[in-house]
Amino acid sequence: MSASGIMGRVALVTGASSGLGARFARVLAAAGARMVLAARRQDRLTALAAELRADGAEAITVSLDVSSYESIQAAAVVAEKQLGPIGILVNNAGVSRQARIEDVTEEEYDEVMGTNLKGAFFMAQAAARQMIVHGIDGRIVNIASVAGLKPLGQLSTYSMSKAAMLQMTKSMAREWGRHGINTNAICPGYIATEISEGFIETEAGRRLIASLPRRRLGEANDLDGLMLLLCSGEPARFINGAVIAADDGFSAF
């Protein structure tokens, strides 16, 4: 898998403090990107940045609450000031709240939509503005979910937010393609991360795994090749507005 076009570019990953976000940061750093690690948990970001620097990468941290427009603008300014204009954005930050529809509160609804949809929209807007001003053929990768392709039980607001993210991705691809900016979405299936550790040991977790095509969860590194492709230069030139399921076939049935 070619990572051409990644070397030397400034790449900002939201939600980089753990899970898939941390994995994406490591993969892009290994491909030569200059990393902006963004999240609320600064202690974890600091540790990850130190790890990447020890491996020879350039990495900075920025405090980011994607549910805050002001925080997004401030993070984009810091990134450009310290490393240069953003060339790659991975919109990874997200939350979910499990509840029956009749039990969802306004606060829970606003939290999920504010983080997963509003946050991703304005983070992409901030990055795209830099790309357009500086004439950068940018790459934006929105991390959606199979929940955006098929509703998951008791995850109505999460599923809604990820479905809307897919339409957002296509709208951005249509408008920003003329500026050389490619916007695509990855829909991961069930991936083994620290967040899912407790669940997969439960009876419900075991039932879920038994329902999957290969009776196993995915690993974070299963997304490495796809991430490198979508963030690359020439190999990804004609991939714009794509919604790609990386779920081992889960959304196919």
For the annotated catalytic residues, the residue numbers are: 158
Residue 175 in contact with residue 183, Cβ under 8 Å?
no
> CA-based Rg of the chain, rounded to a whole angstrom?
17
What's the one-letter identity of residue 98? Q
Quote the CA–CA distance of 195 and 129 in Å, as a whole number: 33
What's the one-letter identity of residue 205? G
First to last CA, the chain: 29
Q: Which residues of 30-54 are buried (b: 16+ CB within 10 A; e: fewer)?
A: bbbbbbbbbbeeeebbeebbeebee
Residue 26 in contact with residue 47, Cβ under 8 Å?
no
Half-sphere exposure of 229 (CA within 13 A, CB side): 14
